[in-house]
Amino acid sequence: MVQKSVPDVAKAGPRRRGRPRAFEPETALTQAMDVFWRHGFAAASLDDVSAATGLNRPSLYGAFGDKRALYLQAYGQYRKRVNEIFQPMFAAREPLRVKLRRILVAALDLYLSGEDGPRGCFTVLSAASDAIAEPGLQALVGEAIAGTDRAFGLLFADAREAGELPESADPRRLARIVAATLHTLSIRARARIPRAELLPIVDDVVITVCGA
């Protein structure tokens, strides 16, 4: 079998040879992300993506591959953007209670964002999707979940070391509780449960982790 020439995504070399792209792959991926994030893999058509990006299907195909490959890259774009948003918040020098609440409220507002109603967390959606049967998506979603557990685990380990949590606190256990909170917020947001009923859940977990 001949090696199928995989389209190199956004591999912005020094200068490509023929006619240049009339679009930025990053921008298109972000727009595709919006479509998949809202509708999910199966319910989103390539025509929807085409309309959102302003690109014709052959252009999408040439740049990103088929629908499955496009979804994976759009989800990768989501992860990248989310990391860019939250890394500074994790790195900030604030009291644990403040920092934790700030992160959770930011996540909640991310889940509530969307022009046509709350979209929840793209990772949660991907896990719930039919496409999760595919190993490639399983790997990405697994990484994302593990990464969240790890990030909060480090946060709490540092806090314990700094005396903001008791010695008896188990950072990994606390991290999983917070991750669970993110998941429940995502589900409830998508179910159109209003923000006013979701904020108390944030306060719940802050109390659970940091005490009353």
Q: Give contact residues for DNA (rule: CB under 7 A).
A: 15-23, 44-47, 55-59, 61-63, 66-68
| SS3 category, 128 | helix
The answer for residues whose C-beta is within 8 angstroms of residue 130's C-beta and 6 or more apart is 41, 42
- The answer to whether 35 and 48 are in contact (CB under 8 A) is yes
- DSSP state, 130? G
199 binding a second copy? (CB under 8 A): no
Per CB under 8 A, does 173 bind a second copy?
yes
* Of 105, 128, 169, 199, the one binding a second copy by CB under 8 A: 128
| Smaller CB separation from DNA, 66 or 204 | 66
Amino acid at 82: V
Closest CA to 80 of 127, 33, 39: 33
- CA–CA–CA angle 196, 202, 206 (5° rounding): 145
Indicate which of DNA, a second copy, none lies near residue 201 (CB less than 5 to 8 Å, by partner kind).
Answer: a second copy
95 binds, among a second copy, DNA, none (CB under 5 to 8 A by kind): none
**What single-letter amino acid sits at 49?**
V
- Residue numbers of the site for a second copy (CB under 8 A)? 38-43, 116-117, 120, 124-125, 127-130, 132-133, 138, 141-142, 145, 173, 176-177, 179-181, 183-184, 187-188, 190-193, 200-201, 204-205, 207-208
